[in-house]
Amino acid sequence: MKAIILAAGEGKRLRPLTNTIPKPIIKIFGKTIIEHNLEHIYKYVSEIIIVVKYKADEVKKAIGDEYKKVKVSYREQSDKPGTAGAIMGMEDIKKDVIILNGDSIFPKKDLKKILELDGYGALAKKVKEPEKYGIFKVDEKGFAKEVIEKPETFIGDLANVGVYKVSSEIFRIVDRIKISKRGEYEITDAINFFIAEHKFKIIEMEKEFIDVGYCWDILDANSHFLKKLDESEIEGEIEKGVTIKGNIILEKGAILKSGTSIEGNVFIGKNSVIGPNAYLRGETVIGENCKIGNAVEIKNSAIGDNTNVAHLSYIGDSIIG
């Protein structure tokens, strides 16, 4: 089986961050969004194919040509827009594939279920307002009859989240679909053709997936991981006179200088220097190669890689870098 990750989009709602960084490689808790998903799927696949377009070179640089010894290759999306356009021209793939959106983080437990599924299917999430989503209509055994975008009448409450396990036949099917009313080639149209020809199991997710739609969602996503941090992981250096009340990750090469105080669960990336006399509180993530100066206070914030915060500064509930 191969994996296809759709990572060609810009993420316009995340501007200005995505003016320089494509959404799929925005970092959450020290890893890009794509890498969080790779960590959950790499053991099950022989190759990872990432579909790119917007700032493609940045994605390639961030991910590289392998992930934990699994080959990573790239396909540039053609001028045909949309999620189905992203997988057009892949007729050379002859194996089953798992296709997933590259701009959300999916739980390991739920991905494991679909990866180990004997047959084909998709993940779905139960929602309270199905009229706002693409909804799978299913039979009494949980097999899909079709997926309908924003149904006007109630057909069910299992929303499509953008994770599908299908055969290589999908690459023949996408050539049959027509452009949608919004001017894109929709993968859900291809999935409906596939459903008509195959049993297609819908697996209800047990856990919430993380969708970073707007800038402030980055803080919530970091919080999701920081709240689960039940012990500290120290690879960097802690000088004398540092106070820590909470659990922290201090990556290799990072330094907490004397007089620095931490209250809460905090992530500090590789080669970052904090302090002296800095104060980090709440659920805060500091990226790699950052310099947080003397007497800086940071609360509930995300500081991107290679960011300098000058002495005597205050940053609260913000995303910088």
Active-site annotation holder among 40, 198, 224, 311: 311
Pairing verdict, β 66-67 and 279-281: unpaired
What 213-218 contacts at long range (C-beta under 8 Å, 24+ apart), as own/partner pairs, is 213/13, 213/14, 214/13, 214/14, 215/14, 215/17, 215/319, 216/319, 218/26, 218/28, 218/302, 218/319
Distance CA(192)–CA(206), nearest Å, equals 24
Beta carbons of 230 and 248 less than 8 angstroms apart? no
Beta carbons of 6 and 86 less than 8 angstroms apart? yes
Q: Among this protein's residues, is 224 annotated catalytic?
A: no
Compute the CA torsion angle 168, 173, 179, 182 (nearest 10 deg).
Answer: -50
Pairing verdict, β 134-138 and 97-101: unpaired
Q: Which residues are catalytic?
A: 311
